[in-house]
Amino acid sequence: MSNFNYKLQLNNVPREGSPGSKIPLKVSVEEASEEISRVYFSVPMYGIFEVLKKENETLYSLDYYIPYEAPYGTYDVNIWAVNNKNEKGPVTNIKFTVK
């Protein structure tokens, strides 16, 4: 088992939005015990899975558009990083409300 670890910080990430709106996601990955290969965003309930764009050594971003057909409600959103061996690090979970 890997000891891959880091601190994941969300930078002014909105916690609610309406169908069709753009959600800017900016994530800082700091104090990583190994080099970060990718950062992922997921809404498991609906099978949504995206890779964030690397902006610099620690900052990753994604402009996600809430689908127009998204049902109203509160959803679990997971964000995590993987290292060069594709080992998954700690998952950060936030609640996001579509209203």
Span 16-74, pLDDT tens digits: 999 999 999 999 999 999 999 999 999 999 999 999 999 999 999 999 999 999 999 99
Q: Which two tokens stand for residue 94?
A: 């936030």
Cα 40 to Cα 1, 43, 60, 79: the distances in Å are 20, 10, 9, 6
Domains in the chain with CATH codes: 7-98 (2.60.40.10)
Residue carrying structure tokens 């909105």: 14
Separation of CA 88 from chain center: 13
Task: Provide the whole-model pTM.
Answer: 0.93
